[in-house]
Amino acid sequence: MDRTPHRRDDGELLGWIRAEGDGWVAIDLLGREVTGGVEWLDAEAALERHGIAYLADPWMLEGDGAPLRVRLVEVTPARIVVKADDFGDITRAAPLIELPWPLPARLRPPRDGDPDAFTVSRD
């Protein structure tokens, strides 16, 4: 896929812009389309608004059983690496889980009812 990187004024990569038909599509760092086909400047503006803060948010990894709360460790156009949310505890070793790029459907933002890791249950 031909795409042009788009960076903030400080050089931080925000995503890419690729041609589609007569327009341009903004793509974030996880490979998600931020816009449909729009004018080039609108695609740039959309990436600027979208930012990169979502990379610091918790995510949920679907698998066997309940979803696992994870944090993004590495995001490149080759792979996405996550680990179980350790809430910044550097003494806790959490295995890294490598996923394909773009964002696979099993990695998603938290939804109501997901385990929050703050609630202790004694079932």
Taking the C-alpha atoms of residue 40 and residue 28, their distance in angstroms, rounded to an integer, is 15
- Count of beta carbons in the 10 Å neighbourhood of residue 8: 12
Interval 82-118: pLDDT, tens: 999 887 777 778 889 999 999 999 999 999 888 776 6
In the numeric block, the tokens 């990695």 are attached to 107
Domain assignments of the chain as residue spans, ordered by start:
4-53, 57-108
Interval 1-26: pLDDT, tens: 699 999 999 999 999 999 999 999 99
Taking the C-alpha atoms of residue 116 and residue 68, their distance in angstroms, rounded to an integer, is 9
The single-letter code of the amino acid at 78 is A
Taking the C-alpha atoms of residue 19 and residue 101, their distance in angstroms, rounded to an integer, is 20
Taking the C-alpha atoms of residue 31 and residue 87, their distance in angstroms, rounded to an integer, is 26
CA R_g for the chain:
17
Interval 33-60: pLDDT, tens: 999 999 999 999 999 999 999 999 999 9
pLDDT of residue 121: 54
| The two three-digit tokens of residue 100, written as one number | 């394909």
- Count of beta carbons in the 10 Å neighbourhood of residue 61: 17
Q: What distance separates the 2 farthest-apart alpha carbons in the chain?
A: 57
